[in-house]
Amino acid sequence: MTAGRHMASLLDGVREPTRVSAGAVVAQAVLLISAEAQAADVRVGLDRGTGDDAVRADPLRLRQAVLNLLTNAIHCGPPDSEVSVAVSRDADTVTVAVRDQGPGLTAGQIAALMRTRSGERAHGLGLPITCELVAALSGRLRVESTPGRGSCFSIELAAYPG
């Protein structure tokens, strides 16, 4: 299966969301990306927190969204830098935050990265696809960035009740 068809199947497939540990899915993504990070001389740190991180989601879509953010963060940062991933929960939201030490982005750059351009095919693991994956999870993608200081991309999902 080509990468394009794989992504299309992730976006189009009808999957029943299930109760899943966001921290466990993120840990899988970190493990899957470890060779790529090592080749780029970038360390990936994971803080799963201590609370209940259960969400109602398709674990494949969540893992792919996290992998996309990790891939971008690894390639944005300089060698011998760190990408940190944190999973946290407040009263009703579980957040997966991926922070890099890259060059940071202006508001205009963020807006341009998030747009899917009409007629363009997504190459690699772009943010427009990540936005679609997160939307399919009924979640929200937030971006905080300061030019010269790096970026933090956060996936916010409704916490599993109870």
Question: Is 32 a domain residue?
Answer: no
Q: Is the pLDDT at 55 greater than 70, yes or no?
A: yes
Pair type for strands 54-57 and 18-21: antiparallel
Question: Is 6 a domain residue?
Answer: no
Nearest to 157 by CA among 106, 107, 87: 87
Q: Is the pLDDT at 147 greater than 50, yes or no?
A: yes
Q: Is the pLDDT at 125 greater than 70, yes or no?
A: no
pLDDT of residue 8: 54
The proportion of the chain whose per-residue pLDDT surpasses 70, expressed as a percent, equals 84
Average pLDDT over the chain reads: 87
Question: Is 1 a domain residue?
Answer: no
Helix or strand holding residue 46 (H, E) = strand 42-47
- Distance (Å, whole) CA 54 – CA 93: 10
| C-alpha of 83 from chain center | 12
Where residue 88 sits, what CATH number does that domain have?
A: 3.30.565.10
Other C-beta atoms within 10 Å of 75: how many?
A: 15
For residues 34-49, give the mean pLDDT.
96
For residues 12-21, give the mean pLDDT.
76
If pLDDT is split at 50, 70 and 90, which confidence band does 120 have? very low
pLDDT of residue 16: 75
Residue 32 Cα distances to 25, 35, 42, 101, 103, angstroms: 11, 7, 14, 21, 25
pTM for the structure as a whole:
0.85
Q: Report pLDDT digits (tens) over 93-109.
A: 999 999 999 999 999 88
How many domains does the chain fold into?
A: 1
For 109, the domain range is: 41-158
If pLDDT is split at 50, 70 and 90, which confidence band does 119 have? very low
